Structure 1
Amino acid sequence: MSLSQALLNQDRLALSRLLTHVENNSEEGRKALDELYPHTGKAHLIGITGAPGTGKSTLVNQLALQYSKEGKRVAILAVDPSSPFTGGAVLGDRVRMRDLAGDPNVFIRSMASRGSLGGLAQATASMVQVFDAAGFDLILIETVGAGQAEVDIARLAHTTLVVEAPGLGDDIQAIKAGILEIADILVVNKADRPGVENSERALRGMLDMAHPTQRVFHHHGQRMVVPAQTPKADDPLWIPVIKRTVAKDGVGITDLVEAIEDHITFLREGGEWAARERTQLQTTFETLLRDNLFARFLDELSPEIYEETLSNIMLRKQSPWSAAEALLDRRRA
């Protein structure tokens, strides 16, 4: 029996082996992805991102426990930062997810980012496809926690959770452009800490600016508040919600799960689910196309020409832009 068929029969050992092949981009892994692709497209992908220290791993642990109690199969893909020297990953997320050990409904896989920017390794999308084909209901994707650049998750997940925590810096840091805009649900974790009200107020203020629910103006010195015009019925709009949690104690997890379910309902009823599916697949397709074209280009380019061009760039005889254009023109000819 092939690894692909064994995975479709929910063989956990086959799943582990296939994930390794896919992460290493082996020929067997690529073949398996082709065989498994018709069986994908059913899982709900939930991305969990945010700055380091906000408690993402503990939150993922609690979410997985909650969904497992409901009888759902949950896969966790935790992307860990790689060592710049060895290329290995710390895999610290597994230390924080001891509660899930031995749970037949939960499968945890850590992987190294391997220098990939944006908090997601290049193989993440492919590994998600394997989990999807394996029949998992939900796939929780926890990213490195690189900060504002970590927006790649929004191109992969159906629902994106951005986790903040009070006491990690000034309120402006939490609302800088880049990471807040990708949130479907904002989670203020460690809500038992001082300053949680200020953190939530700052987040809500930014949401009101992006999705105003009321207009404030002054009339004869009096502050007046008027509700903003609501969206039309045929123009659905999801306004991100804010949920408080204390993940280490399991506080607020039920409310967070309900918010996630509300978002799923919105996606499916409003037609947004198909749009996000298209974005996911288009991103994967274009990334593969770009990587393969670049690899083929280098294969067809002689090492001597490459080194000569690089030397010209180093000696400032040629700019990187004109050098790249010249190599492309040479290939067209």
Structure 2
Amino acid sequence: MFASAVNGDRGSLARLLSLIERGGDDARTIGRLTYPKSGNAYTVGITGAPGAGKSTLTSAVIGHLRAQDLNVAVLAIDPSSPFTGGAILGDRVRMQDHSTDTGVFIRSMATRGHLGGLSLATTEAIRLLDAVGCPWILVETVGVGQVEVEIAGKADTTIVVVNPGWGDAVQANKAGLMEIADIFVINKADRKGADETRRDLEQMLDLSDLAHDAWRPPILQTTATSGEGVEELWNTVAQHREHSTTTGLLQRRRSFRLREELREIVERRLENRAREICSGSEWDALQNKVLENELDPWTAADDMLKGIKA
């Protein structure tokens, strides 16, 4: 199936992504296949508060890339349905203009309740898309009451999208946006307040020490519905890519991501192993000993942890 996906079979690619979302042995097998073939794609994260027009902007960026005959893959990270665990917003509802374009692959992934907003399988999904030859990968995160900042740990360039009137410095700093943005975009710039928002962001940057290797996040204005400003935005992404490559920032970010991924894999496997040993008759017997004051909780925990070491 992996070979078919590498050769351009979109159905095989979709099935592999489904296996990654489910996790388990299949996801590990896919990860072992994709890792040696990855490292060529460039990942751009698009994040921001709810209602900022992230999906419309993402769609406009897709159109810009396709006009240059560049292929692109999109991961739309959506809320999970509380009943099915599936993504409820749906990629083709928001980006249906591109759904029949063979140069565009769009996939929704559910957060499944993950607090950071990113699917736990996002890293593996990005690597799969990279391994099958997608040169550009866009990752759009969901905003559900809080601004998603975890995308900065997944992307090579992070675009933070805001609306006119979004100029509250306290809100920005609480949300963590100032720390993760490589590029700020004031979308819906045809609305009142866009220039004031730009000035507010400039002042916040002046008061902060957030330059990433001498890169001061530019503040751009777009109107995604008409496509205005999208070309300038993508030119700025290219400039950031060049800057990150020449300064070593890109390599440092990717190295950090690999270290974090390794830690997450170990934590996840330990958590699964802990669930296994904290069930069954031995676990019940130890709990009873603690309840009957025959054993203290710390000693009981040490006994159970021997199962993890084994």
Residue 95 of structure 1 and its aligned partner are, at CA, apart by 1.4
| Corresponding residue to 2:267 among 274, 284, 290 | 290
- 1: CA distance between counterparts of 2:287 and 2:225? 52
Q: Given residue 292 of structure 1, which amino acid in structure 2 is its aligned partner?
A: R
Q: Given residue 274 of structure 2, which amino acid in structure 1 is its aligned partner?
A: F
| Partner in structure 1 of residue 58 of structure 2 | 60
| Partner in structure 2 of residue 121 of structure 1 | 119
- 2: CA distance between counterparts of 1:107 and 1:14? 12
- 2: CA distance between counterparts of 1:192 and 1:306? 63
- 2: CA distance between counterparts of 1:196 and 1:6? 47
SS in 1 for 2:113: coil
Task: Verify: 1:247 aligned to 2:193, yes or no.
Answer: no
Q: Structure 2 vs 1, CA of residues 95 and 312 (structure 1 numbering), >3 Å: closer, same or farther?
A: farther
Would the aligned equivalents of 1:189 and 1:247 in 2 still touch at CA under 8 Å? yes
Residue 13 of structure 1 and its aligned partner are, at CA, apart by 1.4
| Corresponding residue to 1:176 among 160, 174, 177 | 174
Q: Structure 2 vs 1, CA of residues 249 and 124 (structure 1 numbering), >3 Å: closer, same or farther?
A: same
Task: Verify: 1:112 aligned to 2:110, yes or no.
Answer: yes
| Partner in structure 2 of residue 269 of structure 1 | 246
Q: Structure 2 vs 1, CA of residues 198 and 292 (structure 1 numbering), >3 Å: closer, same or farther?
A: same
- 1: CA distance between counterparts of 2:289 and 2:190? 59
Residue 31 of structure 1 and its aligned partner are, at CA, apart by 1.2
Residue 305 of structure 1 and its aligned partner are, at CA, apart by 6.5
| Partner in structure 2 of residue 36 of structure 1 | 34
Q: Given residue 209 of structure 1, which amino acid in structure 2 is its aligned partner?
A: L
Would the aligned equivalents of 1:167 and 1:193 in 2 still touch at CA under 8 Å? no
Residue 177 of structure 1 and its aligned partner are, at CA, apart by 4.8
Consecutive unaligned residues in structure 2, runs of 5 or more: none
- 1: CA distance between counterparts of 2:24 and 2:255? 26
User: Aligned residue pairs: how many?
Assistant: 303
Q: Scaled by the length of structure 2, what TM-score is found?
A: 0.89
Percentage of matched positions with identical amino acids: 42
Would the aligned equivalents of 2:47 and 2:147 in 1 still touch at CA under 8 Å? no
- 1: CA distance between counterparts of 2:237 and 2:206? 21
- 2: CA distance between counterparts of 1:310 and 1:88? 36
- 2: CA distance between counterparts of 1:24 and 1:176? 33
- 2: CA distance between counterparts of 1:257 and 1:79? 21
Q: Structure 2 vs 1, CA of residues 257 and 309 (structure 1 numbering), >3 Å: closer, same or farther?
A: farther
Q: Given residue 201 of structure 1, which amino acid in structure 2 is its aligned partner?
A: R
| Partner in structure 2 of residue 216 of structure 1 | none
Q: Structure 2 vs 1, CA of residues 311 and 206 (structure 1 numbering), >3 Å: closer, same or farther?
A: farther
Q: Given residue 329 of structure 1, which amino acid in structure 2 is its aligned partner?
A: D
Task: Verify: 1:260 aligned to 2:237, yes or no.
Answer: yes
Q: Given residue 259 of structure 2, which amino acid in structure 1 is its aligned partner?
A: Q
| Partner in structure 1 of residue 75 of structure 2 | 77
Would the aligned equivalents of 2:147 and 2:175 in 1 still touch at CA under 8 Å? no
Deviations 1:157-207 (A, max 9, x none): 000011100246856434435122100001100111111122111111111
| Partner in structure 1 of residue 130 of structure 2 | 132
- 2: CA distance between counterparts of 1:311 and 1:260? 60
| Partner in structure 2 of residue 330 of structure 1 | 303
SS in 2 for 1:79: strand
1:186-205 matched pairs, under 5 angstroms:
186-205=184-203
Residue 20 of structure 1 and its aligned partner are, at CA, apart by 0.8
SS in 2 for 1:22: helix
Residue 312 of structure 1 and its aligned partner are, at CA, apart by 12
Deviations 1:223-260 (A, max 9, x none): xxxxxxxx9xxx94111111100001101000000110
Q: Given residue 163 of structure 1, which amino acid in structure 2 is its aligned partner?
A: V
Residue 130 of structure 1 and its aligned partner are, at CA, apart by 0.7
SS in 1 for 2:124: helix
Residue 87 of structure 1 and its aligned partner are, at CA, apart by 2.4
- 2: CA distance between counterparts of 1:123 and 1:50? 21
Q: Structure 2 vs 1, CA of residues 122 and 211 (structure 1 numbering), >3 Å: closer, same or farther?
A: same
| Corresponding residue to 2:101 among 103, 108, 111 | 103
